[in-house]
Chains A and B, each alone.
Chain A
Amino acid sequence: MKLSFVVAAMTTFSAAALPAAQVEAADAPVRIHAGLLIDGTGASLKDATVTVQGDRIVSVESGAKGPWAIDLVKATVLPGLIDNHVHITWHFNDDGRADMTKTPREQQGLKWAENLKKTLMAGYTTVQSIGSADDLLLRKEIASGDLIGPRLLTSSTAFNDVKMSPDDARAFVRARKAEGADLIKMFASKSSREGGGATLSAEVVAAVCDEARKQNLRVWVHAHGDDSIRRVVAGKCTTVVHGSLATPPMFKLMADNGVNFEPTVGVVTQNYIAHEKNYTGIGNYTPEAFVNMRAFVKDQGARWKTMFTSAPRLNILTGSDAVAGAEGHNAEEVIFRVQNGWPAMSGIVSTTSRNAKALGLEGTTGGTIRIGGRDADPATRARHVAYLGHLPGLKADLSSLENLDYLCGLLGRRPGMAIEQALATVGLAGFEDAPARTLSAGQRKRLALARLWLSPAALWLLDEPYANLDLPGIELVNHMVRAHLDDGGGALVTTHGAYAAPPVRTRLLALGEEGD
């Protein structure tokens, strides 16, 4: 009795993980074998087989047999990574300078193509490029399949005009929408090199974010200090980017108002410093700025710790702000965060499913649930499930034997298992003929457990199975669950007391308010 649970979740965000060359024909399914699959939502699966058809993952199952088109038995397979914040058109020109205006137009496209390939080969299958109208061209070419690169989302031109009135700002948003932008990028503060003070009035910030909401666009707001972050939160914008000068109350403010936070702690400043020669002397990349950045980056680890510990409910996204020199180094953002105390799984979830959700790419578009290899409609699904809830489902006027006789007739019985035997197992031998009404709460629970023990279902759903039981009763439940698992079954147990959890823990989910 082996239960194989196959949940085929076809999520768009994980679809592009496959190198294009491996997909020979759109309709031929490609099976990939993973020694360990991390699904990007926090769960993992050993010995997984992922089946991809066209640009969709059609099934994920454990323990399936080969052959596989791609066998990664010694590897860990992840969904394609997502970087919410890149500048894919930035590059060093032939003089090695980060001055893109000096690159001849015909050479720019080649630089962009290089960046795209580097980013894709670094494992990033979706990037959001913020701040260049040229991205629109790239997005079209990539989508058509002629240019190799990660799926591209773009803001086109960024909103950076401090003189605009709220009405002009609204017109700007509508113009981006007409152009086909995926989001609005807005600079609401100076750069951290210039102190990070707010540059836009609260009215303009609110106008941009309100108009964007009407146009169904997200707004990524560059904001470093508290003053600008307050305006972003008040304007109900989607995401605060950077926040490098923010104080701890700001993180709580964003969390409480459901504003995403996307720090850029691991790549961008470090990249400037590593490429000082390429940047210094251009715009505000002054020699003093580099002195400041060197001092600033020293505290980056501590700064990051404050960010992710100040407000447990803060929805932290992952964007690298990879500019020229950092192409393909996008993952250093999340590596830095994990090296400075973030749980590795948080990093993976943030870089995959949480980013996808923030970009509006997440969502199950279809799929089936199969049990034992067959599609499970609600009616057949029930045949494989035994449920033990708060209500024991016993008739008070019937004896133990009569109750079990009735329930076995209704729900089926495990072959070769006698009712008396089950009663003895749960410690109710001698109570066969006692009406259920005369039993204590603990004994009634044991009677319900006997019903579970007799059930032929492979999957047990146990809601608070330890309630009303004494210590030997708790042992009994654990013993039963263990025996059931040894028999190839599965059990989903909810419990308030971790002390009573079964000895076999395959996966532990802690439920509660976010941040508890």
Chain B
Amino acid sequence: MDGKVTLRSAACALVRRDLRLLWRRRGDALQPALFAILVVVLFALALGNERGMLAAVAPAVLWVAVLLSGLLSLDNLFRGDAEDGSLEQWLLAPVPLAWLVLVRTLVHWATTALPLVLATPLLAELLGLPHDLLPVLLLSLALGTPLLSLVGAVVAALTVGMRRAGVLLALLALPLYVPILVFGAGSMSAAARGFDPGGGLLLLAAGLVLALVLAPVAAAAALRIAHA
């Protein structure tokens, strides 16, 4: 590695750093996943003796659990970097800020949402979800969760200038999450009733493509504003 900074080298440095930090704080990193699992288990216990109903609400419960656990870790997306001055160095880096935001957001997704998506078959089993719906559920989560992270990144960037953004962050993010939830859970209920889930999934995919391009730019602009 010589002194030259490329998009790739900056991304590698950032990914390496985030994974190291994650490992140093592996206890904290598990919290969102544990939270989601707890929510699902609580539902399973509460509706335990009505298997039919449990299976019927399973897609919605899984989606809401994933969404809420994502919200839980959203505030940490940029806050730590803003507070210790890392963000100042991001602004000075010779690569676009939007690129760093994208990398950071995707790493965040991979470390908070992805494990949950991978654990979904287990949770689905717990709720008694019909097996033929599992692929649709996994696909909708695979498309929906990165979209949630990207939209959440914009909101997190907007509120990073505030000392404590907790509830405000949720209030700002949830309305934006609604369409994602509607299409994600909607595709599941369509599939459960034997219709083609393709419409909702395609809309999620379109949203993801759009967010991949636009959200980092918007979040970068918000970070610049918050830092000015």
| B94 CB-CB contact with A under 8 Å | yes
Residues 88-108 of B contacting A (Cβ, < 8 Å): 88-96, 100
Least CB distance from A487 to B in Å reads: 14
**Chain A residues with CB under 8 A of B100:** 410
Indicate if B12 sits at the interface (CB-CB under 8 A): yes
Q: Is the CB of A411 within 8 A of B88?
A: no
The stretch of B20-28, B121-129, B145-153, B208-216 in contact with A is B20-28
Are A411 and B94 in contact, CB atoms less than 8 angstroms apart? yes
A392 to B5 alpha-carbon distance, docked (Å): 21
Please determine whether A415 and B3 come into contact, CB atoms closer than 8 angstroms. Answer: yes
Task: Compute how far the CA of A164 lies from the CA of B5 in the bound complex, rounded to whole angstroms.
Answer: 74
| Chain B residue nearest to A393 in the complex (CB) | B85
Of A387, A397, A408, A414, most B-chain CB atoms within 10 Å: A397
Residues of B with C-beta under 8 A to A393:
84-86, 88-89
Q: How far is the CB of B95 from chain A (nearest CB, A)?
A: 8
Q: Is B94 in contact with A398, judged by CB distance below 8 angstroms?
A: no
Q: Which listed residue, B21, B85, B96, touches A379 by the CB 8 Å rule?
A: B96
Report A379-418 CB contacts with B as 1/0, cut-off 8 Å: 1001101110111111111100010011111111111010
| B187: min CB distance to chain A, Å | 39
Q: Does A319 contact B (CB under 8 A)?
A: no
The CA of A414 and the CA of B2, in the complex, are separated in Å by 8
- Tell me the nearest residue of chain B to A448, going by C-beta: B85
Q: Is A490 an interface residue (CB 8 A)?
A: no
Are A405 and B13 in touch, CB under 8 angstroms? yes
The answer to whether A409 and B21 touch across the interface, beta carbons within 8 angstroms, is: no
The residue that B91 contacts in the complex, of A382, A390, A407, A412, with Cβ under 8 A, is: A382
Q: Is the CB of A395 within 8 A of B94?
A: no
CB nearest neighbor in B for A397:
B24
Interface members, chain B 1-56 (any A CB < 8 Å): 1-5, 9-10, 12-14, 16-17, 20-21, 24-25
Complex contacts, B91 vs chain A, CB 8 Å: 382
Residues of B within 8 A of A391 (CB): 83-85, 88
Interface magnitude class on chain B: 20 to 34
A131 at the interface (CB under 8 A from B): no
- A398-B18 Cα distance, complex, nearest whole Å: 10
| Contact (Cβ within 8 A) A396 B92 | no
Q: A382-B91, A395-B17, A414-B3 are in contact. Are A409 and B10 (CB under 8 A)?
A: yes
Indicate if the CB atoms of A409 and B92 lie closer than 8 Å. Answer: no
> Which residues of B from 61 to 103 have beta carbons under 8 Å from A?
83-86, 88-96, 100
A412 touches B13 (CB 8 A): no
Q: Is the CB of A396 within 8 A of B85?
A: no
| A407 closest partner in B (C-beta) | B89
Count of chain A residues near B, Cβ 8 A: 31
Chain A's closest residue to B224 (CB) is A378
Q: What chain B residues lie within 8 Å of A402 (beta carbons)?
A: 17, 20
The 8 A CB mask of B154-180 against A (1 = contact, 0 = none) is 000000000000000000000000000
Question: Which residues of B are found within 8 Å of A405, using beta-carbon distances?
Answer: 13, 16
Report how far A385 CA is from B84 CA in the complex, Å: 19
Tell me the minimal C-beta distance from B63 to chain A in angstroms: 33
Say yes or no: B88 contacts A409, CB within 8 Å. Answer: no
| A466-487 to B contact mask, C-beta < 8 Å, 1/0 | 0000000000000000000000
A409 & B24 in contact (Cβ 8 Å cutoff): no
Bound complex: CA of A382 vs CA of B224, how far in Å? 14
Which A residue's beta carbon lies closest to that of B92?
A382
A150 close to chain B: CB less than 8 A: no
Hey, what's the 0/1 contact readout for A428-472 against B, CB within 8 Å counting as 1?
000000010000000000000000000010000000000000000
CA distance A379 to B24 in the complex (A): 33
Q: Is the CB of B2 within 8 A of A398?
A: no
Contact A410 B90 (CB under 8 A): yes
Which single residue of chain B is at the shortest CB-CB distance from A456? B3
Across-interface contacts of A409 in B (CB, < 8 A): 1, 5, 9-10, 12-14, 16
Contact partners of A379 in chain B: CB under 8 A: 96
CB distance from A129 to the nearest CB of B (A): 45
User: What are the interface flags for A360-382 relative to B under an 8 Å C-beta threshold, 1 for contact and 0 otherwise?
Assistant: 00000000000000000001001
Interface residue from A383, A392, A435 paired with B85 (Cβ < 8 Å): A392
Given A393-B84, A409-B16, decide whether A398 and B89 contact each other with a Cβ distance below 8 A: no
Instruction: Indicate if the CB atoms of B2 and A410 lie closer than 8 Å.
Output: no
Q: Name the interface residues of A50-71: CB closer than 8 Å to any CB of B.
A: none
Tell me whether A389 and B24 are in contact in the complex, defined as CB-CB below 8 angstroms, given that A379-B96, A382-B94, A406-B17 are known contacts.
Answer: no
Decide if A395 touches B88 in the complex (CB within 8 Å): no
Instruction: List the B side residues contacting A406 at CB < 8 Å.
Output: 13-14, 16-17
CA distance A407 to B81 in the complex (A): 13
Output the least CB separation between A146 and chain B (Å). Answer: 50
Question: What residue of chain B has the Cβ atom nearest to residue A409's Cβ?
Answer: B13
Contact B94 A412 (CB under 8 A): yes
| Candidate in B17, B84, B96 with the most chain A CB atoms within 10 angstroms | B17
Query: How many Å lie between the Cα of A406 and that of B12 in the bound state?
Result: 9
Known: A409-B5, A415-B2. A396 touches B84 (CB 8 A): yes
Residues of B contacting A435 in the complex (Cβ-Cβ under 8 angstroms)? 24
| Interface pair B21/A397, CB less than 8 Å apart | yes
User: B83 to chain A: which residues have CB within 8 Å?
Assistant: 391
Q: Using Cβ atoms and an 8 Å threshold, which residues of chain A touch B13?
A: 405-410
How close is A482's CB to chain B, nearest CB, in angstroms? 22
Whether B85 and A398, one on each chain, are in contact in the complex, defined by CB atoms closer than 8 angstroms, is: no
Return chain B residues, CB-CB under 8 Å to A407: 13, 89
Q: Which residue of B lies closest to A417 (CB)?
A: B3
Q: How far is the CB of B94 from chain A (nearest CB, A)?
A: 4
Residue pair B93, A411 in contact (C-beta under 8 Å): yes
User: Which residue of A is nearest B17, CB measured?
Assistant: A406
Give CA–CA (A411, B97) in the complex, Å. 12
Contact of B93 among A382, A395, A413 (CB under 8 A): A382
Chain A residues lying within 8 Å of B1, measured Cβ to Cβ, are 408-409, 413
22 A-B contacts (beta carbon < 8 Å) = A383-B94, A386-B92, A391-B83, A391-B85, A393-B84, A393-B86, A395-B84, A396-B84, A397-B21, A397-B25, A398-B17, A402-B20, A406-B16, A409-B5, A409-B10, A409-B13, A410-B89, A410-B100, A411-B5, A411-B93, A411-B94, A412-B5
Closest 6 CB pairs of A and B: A409-B13, A391-B85, A393-B85, A413-B3, A397-B24, A406-B17
16 additional A-B pairs beyond A394-B85, A410-B5, A410-B93, beta carbons within 8 Å, are A382-B91, A385-B92, A389-B88, A390-B85, A393-B84, A394-B84, A397-B20, A398-B20, A406-B16, A407-B89, A409-B10, A409-B12, A409-B14, A411-B92, A412-B94, A413-B2
Q: Interface residues, chain B, CB within 8 Å of chain A?
A: 1-5, 9-10, 12-14, 16-17, 20-21, 24-25, 83-86, 88-96, 100
